[in-house]
Amino acid sequence: MEHRREALYEKGPVRPAHPAEKKVKPMPPPLKDVVIVGAGFAGLSAAKELAAAPVTVTIIDRQNHHLFQPLLYQVATAALTPAEIAMPIRHILQRQRNAEVLMDRVVGVDTKAQSVTTESGRAVPYDALVLATGARHSYFGKDQWAQHAPGLKTLSDAFGLREKILMAFENAEMVVEDDPEAAGRFQTFVVVGGGPTGVEMAGAIAELAHSVMRDFRRIDEARNRIILLEGGPRVLPAFTEDLSARARRDLGDLGVEVRTDTMVTDIAAGRVTTDQGEIAAETIVWAAGVQASPAGEWLGIPATNNGHVEVDATLRPAGFENIYVIGDTALHRTGGSALPGTAPVAKQMGTYVGRRLSKLARGEAPPHEFRYSDAGALATIGRNRAVADIFGLKVKGFAGWLLWGAAHIYFLIGFRNRLFVMLHWMWLYLTWQRGVRLIMHRDTEDEDKAP
């Protein structure tokens, strides 16, 4: 792809400089082509902010949709459908005339030639590059655990986990009379990691396990076990101690066994080994860590152990004038501590970079350094149970649950998604019925035998 680069600055008549004249700082090069890698919260916010800028915006993502990850666990636990938390990127940006979308995977960045290399062989030129590539699961050097303890980052992850959870009940129903011990393993669910994702997942599995019991005839609800493992002294460590304690109590009311100060030492088929002993379980969910994208490798600069790239006050890595790293990939320190990898942080970073590039494209002074406005944090434990710390105001229980729901509906993209999620939640609240308890996978041998 080639773009004609036209100067944005009119040049006046050239005249010799007087020795007494002060040297004028050279004008920055023209900014015409902006490439954004990743269409998550950060990348999409940056693209939208550039809607009126005199630039061409190219968004590259390996998926064709933007995913609202905070509600992905509800797809995995049969509460929502994928279409309610995802939307095609092209549809989101259909009215933005200066934006074009490429569904491709980035494999490298040539900083000298100022181009992005993709898996399909494209070399996409840029005047400014925004890396908003997000994060993936981190197993802390034990990548072999992934096949037994899947994480939750994509719709494919959610589909796979939903089928694994639902099949666990089906398998328990089939073997409970002949092999009660095996049925116990199928009715045991282990969630590793006591952050917001782990807490919300454990609570959702507990509610799903309760709601499906009326449809089975042989298995006993009393044998369901949901175990949440956390290596630190408390769940939700980013929250205040009283909110953390409330979350733990709410999890206990749902029947979740919370084990803190418990380190996982090994994960294999059908078991989790910890420093406190072994747990037999067929369903294990990983929610303990993330690994940033290989942006540091692409740029040839050092990154942290988790792949994060440290950025300055303008969200640029050291040594790069026209490259920005934002979202989960960025390590930005403020007040001595790093900003968390959350949706609000990513959205604000994207908005800042988009605004900065828009002003630079017009030849205007860019905004001052990035400042994050922290509105607080929320986490839901289950039905009528949530904790929130909003602008210093602590909210728990039913009020916190309503606040959590309102915040998530507000941040969803598209009126249709907001409406459908709200209606789905109302139906689930009134009936306890999860309408997407569908197992889609069938073995090839079974397909061949099907009439």
Which active-site residues does the annotation give? Answer: 200
End-to-end CA distance of the chain: 50
Nearest to 72 by CA among 207, 244, 210, 204: 204
CA dist., res. 228 & res. 285, Å (int): 10
Distance of CA 446 to the CA centre of its chain: 35
What is the four-CA torsion angle of 144, 146, 147, 152, rounded to 10 degrees? -170
Scanning 77-154, the segments in alpha helix (DSSP H) are 89-92
Q: How many CA atoms lie within 13 A of 95 on its CB side?
A: 2
Q: What residue has token string 């418990």? A: 262
CA dist., res. 59 & res. 33, Å (int): 11
Scanning 115-227, the segments in alpha helix (DSSP H) are 155-175, 180-186, 196-212
- The letter for the amino acid at 406 is A
CA 397 → CA 49, 64, 245, 383, 394, distances in Å? 37, 37, 12, 9, 10
